[in-house]
Homo-oligomer: A and B are copies of this chain.
Amino acid sequence: MNHEDHQEETLHVGSGEFRMTKQRRVVYDVLLDQRDHPTAQEVYSRAKRRMPGISLATVYNCLDTMAQAGVVKQVNVARDATRFCPNLRPHAHFLCARCGEVLDVDLKPAADATLAWAMPDGASVEHLEVAMRGLCPTCASQPAQLV
């Protein structure tokens, strides 16, 4: 018996582990298939197309489980609902003030994001979240908005 025999396999990723249930598979696939940092509500809408019976509570549960396990990242940008992202590379987020798109911004190779900051002596940083706002390349190159 090899590992491919079972559709339902317990995944060990990062710190946590979890069972890849049908619902979790759907939720995860939604995130993989369209990497635009959807909110839980948006994930729910997309998931329902693939599994009409899935509930919003389950979507929240799945997202939370996978975030705990380190398979997806929670993204906080601006004031609105939490967004979700399956990109596990260290990256920041860029919200376009014009079109609302949320883009991944990779950490430069070998760069240290805390280098620019005068950290208090003796502090240890476990986690860093960077949210930028501005105009994305597309919107920045377009003429001023008429509306």
Contact = CB atoms under 8 A, between A and B. Distances in A.
B113 A117 contact: yes
B135 A123 contact: yes
A16 interface: no
B120 A136 contact: yes
Interface of A: 74, 76, 78-79, 82, 92, 94, 97, 103, 105-108, 111-137, 140-141
Given A116-B111, A130-B129, A124 B140 contact: yes
| Copies per assembly | 2
A26 to B, nearest CB: 24
B79 A79 contact: no
Contacts of A74: 79
Contacts of A76: 76, 78-79, 131
Contacts of A140: 122-124
B120 A105 contact: yes
A116 B123 CA distance: 20
A76 B116 CA distance: 20
Residue of A78, A114, A140 ringed by the most chain B CB atoms within 10 A:
A114
Nearest to A74: B79
A75 B127 CA distance: 17
Nearest to A82: B79
